[in-house]
A and B are shown apart, each in its own frame.
Chain A
Amino acid sequence: QLQLQESGPGLLKPSQTLSLTCTVSDDSISSGTFYWGWVRQPPEKGLEWLGSITYSGNTYYNPSLESRLTISADTSRNQFSLSLISVTAADTAIYYCARLGGYTRGLFDSWGQGTLVTVSS
């Protein structure tokens, strides 16, 4: 059964870089059928798609974060990662990794459990 697991530091100071990794089990991120992406959810708020990476390494970002965000993949480890520079308190959120399917590869059909990231001085 497909599993996605986020990992990374839970506490950052303003201006630091947030780095998270998603480890995928029971599916290959390079299989070509799905994309892989990140969604975040500030406390008590809604969901925001951050960006996605394709099986061939192409990336797509939400314009609201594109200048600060990089998504990459390590196919040998079956992992993909998020790097968000210059974080502020507004980046405090639960970060989820997810598999994206559907014709447009924009449908979130499986999710990790999420990891809380807090930005505070």
Chain B
Amino acid sequence: EIVLTQSPATLSLSPGERATLSCRASQSVSTSYLAWYQQKPGQAPRLLIYGASTRATAIPDRFSGRGSATDFTLTINSLEPEDFAIYYCQQYDSSPWTFGHGTKVEIK
């Protein structure tokens, strides 16, 4: 199965700063079938990005994704208070579908 490694585990930033989250795959994710999800405490995950770089419906444009093959990045420009959460990457190229262990973006 494809193992996804996210870094850093925790990112401490202030509102208005930029967050850069990394997701590295153990093998190439073809056709960039890589997604990002946001999860807030007590809530289900929410789809942010799919196809490595396409924002899901109603996702603000301060969220952007890029990457290919084994290296992917989620960038959040100018963090808003509601962006402090845990972010997971997920590959849907090869079953079993797998998730990274998450990056927590916390208020500094």
Contacts and interface: CB of A to CB of B under 8 A. Distances in A.
A60 B97 CA distance: 11
A109 interface: yes
Contact of A104 (B33, B37, B43): B33
Interface residues of A, number: 21
A109 B45 contact: no
A108 B33 CA distance: 12
Contacts of A104: 33, 92-93, 95
Interface string B45-56: 111001000001
Contact of B44 (A48, A107, A114): A114
A107 B91 CA distance: 8
Say what secondary structure dominates the interface of chain B. Answer: loop
A46 B97 contact: no
A46 B45 contact: no
B46 A111 contact: yes
A103 B50 CA distance: 11
A47 B92 contact: no
Contacts of B101: 46
A62 interface: yes
Nearest to B96: A62
A64 B45 CA distance: 22
Contacts of B93: 104, 106
A63 B56 contact: no
B96 A49 contact: yes
B99 A106 contact: no
Contacts of A111: 44-46
A46 B87 CA distance: 10
Interface in B3-60: 31, 33, 35, 37, 43-47, 50, 56
9 contacts: A96-B45, A104-B93, A106-B91, A108-B37, A108-B90, A109-B47, A111-B44, A111-B46, A112-B44
Interface of A: 46-49, 60, 62-64, 96, 102-104, 106-114
Interface of B: 1, 31, 33, 35, 37, 43-47, 50, 56, 88, 90-93, 95-102
